[in-house]
Structure 1
Amino acid sequence: MPQHSTVDRALAAALATDTGTPGGKDLDSALDTAASLLAADSTSDAELARRGEEFVRRAWQYGWQPADVARAVRGRLGEDHLRIAARLIVSETRRYGTALPHRWPEQLRRLAAEEKAATAPAPSRFAQATTVLELYRLLTGLPRIEPAGPVPGQAPAVPVAGEPKTFARIRALLAKAEATPYPEEAEALSTKAQELMARHSVDEALLAARRPAADEPAVCRIGVDAPYETAKAVLLDAVATANGCRAVWNSSLGFTTVVGFESDLDAVELLYTSLLVQAHSAMSRSEGEARKAGRKRTRTFRQSFLAAYAQHIGDRLRAVAHEVAAEQSSLLPVLAGREVAVTDRMEQMFPETVTTRVRGVTDAAGWHRGTEAADRAALRPGRAEVSGGTGRPAR
């Protein structure tokens, strides 16, 4: 068919791996040529979209999930590319109906909402074709990564009941903690939320002990965005370990893989997001106070703030963990068994890991303010085994 010929020629030119010159001029020229071919042939649109869905499907086979692809597009390209990627992803996954892995429906809902909210004016056919081809270059260049669950359509979806009532209460408490301007109230709300998480995890462990064959460690990925991504990864590691999970940060791809039991993974996503919101709110308040006093806060202040926040949150989480363990001493064998299962799964997925340390912690005021913010957040324990460790500020 004619449109196939146009698309084949355009993709052959745009996706060629041999760039010719070091500056990439040949690659840019090839992209312009390919975009011109597509712009001149309106009958190629449907076939071009179908090819895009094939590239998305290959990403699933390579271990990527919808949120992972969106994160890569947002980080390396632009909003126009993300809008097209969202459309392709939502369209491609319709073929599976309800046979989607756990967490995919929520990821797809967010992508669909982003696409619907886009208000950019319609570009010219040449500009649109260029954007599509740039996106396809990225999609076809995605590397294989460790799977974080089954591929859609090839395995039954994990049966998941509605959100537990406990989680609804936790969400409400954390939302109030994020919104209140009063540090003491934020601490009390956060502490109560973490207590509920800890007890919910214990309840899940009891249930698992009664039906061990049905409960195995699962995997999820959580984005860790720049700037100050190392400190954020340390914070996420502390939260993950506090909730009986293990975390491995992939700095080049901008996400952390978290291994744990399903309910614990939900708790990690929930708490990490809330803590990050509270950290940024506290940092903004500190910078506002500094500006009023005639002082300028810098990148080193923010880096030191978040590093201190992450480390001190980990310290507080460890303290809460000891309290929970003391109260539930009869459950120690069950909890230890779950920890072994999680560690085994993590080591199977990542046989080689290295420890990352936060560097550039040189602002004593930032460290002090970050520690104060962590004191006002409060939570439960953690061992930063994979991405943990920070340095004290240099004087």
Structure 2
Amino acid sequence: MSKPHGATAGKLERMLEKITMLLRKAESTPYPAEAQALQEHAERLMVRYGIGRAQLDERTAREGRPREAVVERRFEVGGVYRVGRLRGLSEVARAFPAISVLQSTSGNTSTLYVVGVESDVAQVLRLFESLLVQIRSVMAAWWREHDKGHLPTEALRVTERRQFQMAFFDTVAGRLRDLHAQEVADAGSGTELVLAGRRERVTEALHQMHPFLRSARSRPINTGSWTAHRAGQAAGHRANVGQRGVAEGSRARLPG
């Protein structure tokens, strides 16, 4: 598979189409080994697509043409597991080298603000949509298999599910960071500089969008068992990254 260096807009669009095709096949096959192979291929292409878009953007700027716009998209996270999901999805978004994420909470709803260039934000949107669909299914299967309904209080049951989810999202984020590091190294000299320039653009735009931004104090949350953590990690290693497309510019309400 060719690296993103020198990629054209047409090649990148074909790569995006192939990612979608691979992930659809991974969803539909009844064979776990085949699904895993398709998934891993799609993940690597997803990372290469992001690097290729950054390189193409840099070339068009040198030619005097406009760069991709930096945008902000908002996502509301509700439900009893919103705190764990908010933290987990934030980690997944930050696995993309040039994405910034802000958070706010009001009442029973938390909001993620994802800031980056349009193509990167679109990738994060696809990823959020995919992971939220997947975790609902895998967590329900884990809960049934291990008979977690025996836990004596609802608070304990919520804590176990939250721990599973956070471990799931953290594992996916780590997997994506490793892929980015490997692909940047393979892409050759100058790639890290291109991505660093992209990050600087996003950081500058973020300060312009939110000039009075300040860090909030992190709130501790109750953690679940090591068993739930390990189960979430295992599910995260099997997660199918980015299966469903979401239109750019949309505002999505994440399931509770």
TM value normalised by structure 2: 0.74
Amino acid at match of 2:233: T
- Give, in angstroms, the shift of residue 219 of structure 1: 1.7
Query: Within 2, Cα distance between the matches of 1:272 and 1:358?
Result: 24
Query: Within 2, Cα distance between the matches of 1:377 and 1:267?
Result: 16
2:167 is the alignment partner of 1:305: no
Match of 2:66 among 214, 221, 226: 214
In structure 1, the partner of 2:105 is: 251
- Give, in angstroms, the shift of residue 363 of structure 1: 2.2
- Give, in angstroms, the shift of residue 358 of structure 1: 6.1
2:223 is the alignment partner of 1:364: no
In structure 1, the partner of 2:52 is: 203
Amino acid at match of 2:135: A
Structure 1's 182 and 224: CA in aligned 2 closer, same or farther, altered over 3 A? Answer: farther
2:125 is the alignment partner of 1:269: yes
2:58 is the alignment partner of 1:237: no
Deviations 1:208-234 (A, max 9, x none): 112225123222222323231122222
Structure 1's 191 and 272: CA in aligned 2 closer, same or farther, altered over 3 A? Answer: farther
Amino acid at match of 1:286: W
Query: Within 2, Cα distance between the matches of 1:327 and 1:314?
Result: 20
Structure 1's 180 and 346: CA in aligned 2 closer, same or farther, altered over 3 A? Answer: farther
In structure 2, the partner of 1:260 is: 116
Aligned partners of 1:183 and 1:376 also within 8 Å? no
In structure 1, the partner of 2:3 is: none
Amino acid at match of 1:333: L
- Give, in angstroms, the shift of residue 365 of structure 1: 2.1
Aligned partners of 1:177 and 1:185 also within 8 Å? yes
In structure 2, the partner of 1:117 is: none
SS in 1 for 2:73: strand
- Give, in angstroms, the shift of residue 318 of structure 1: 1.8
Report which structure shows greater RCO (CA 8 Å, sep ≥6).
2
Amino acid at match of 1:306: Q
SS in 2 for 1:211: helix
Query: Within 2, Cα distance between the matches of 1:276 and 1:180?
Result: 20
Match of 2:41 among 188, 192, 204: 192
Aligned partners of 2:115 and 2:202 also within 8 Å? yes
In structure 1, the partner of 2:178 is: 319
Query: Within 2, Cα distance between the matches of 1:190 and 1:357?
Result: 35
- Give, in angstroms, the shift of residue 255 of structure 1: 2.4
The structure with more radius of gyration: 1
Aligned partners of 1:307 and 1:361 also within 8 Å? no
SS in 2 for 1:353: coil
Match of 1:333 among 193, 199, 212: 193
Query: Within 2, Cα distance between the matches of 1:211 and 1:363?
Result: 50
Which stretches in structure 1 are left out of the alignment for 5+ residues?
Answer: 1-160, 381-395
Aligned partners of 1:170 and 1:196 also within 8 Å? yes
2:236 is the alignment partner of 1:374: yes
Structure 1's 190 and 255: CA in aligned 2 closer, same or farther, altered over 3 A? Answer: farther
Amino acid at match of 2:198: R
In structure 2, the partner of 1:346 is: 206
Query: Within 2, Cα distance between the matches of 1:182 and 1:300?
Result: 33
SS in 2 for 1:347: helix
- Give, in angstroms, the shift of residue 357 of structure 1: 5.6
Aligned partners of 1:178 and 1:277 also within 8 Å? no
Q: State the identity as a percent.
A: 32
Task: Give the paired residue count.
Answer: 218
Amino acid at match of 2:66: A
SS in 2 for 1:218: strand
Deviations 1:317-369 (A, max 9, x none): 22112101111232121111001111222233332133646611122221121
In structure 2, the partner of 1:68 is: none
Amino acid at match of 2:226: A
Query: Within 1, Cα distance between the matches of 2:116 and 2:54?
Result: 12
In structure 1, the partner of 2:254 is: none
Aligned partners of 1:218 and 1:262 also within 8 Å? yes
Structure 1 vs Structure 2 CA RMSD? 2.9
- Give, in angstroms, the shift of residue 167 of structure 1: 2.9
Greater share of strand residues, 1 or 2? 2
Amino acid at match of 2:193: P
Amino acid at match of 1:235: G
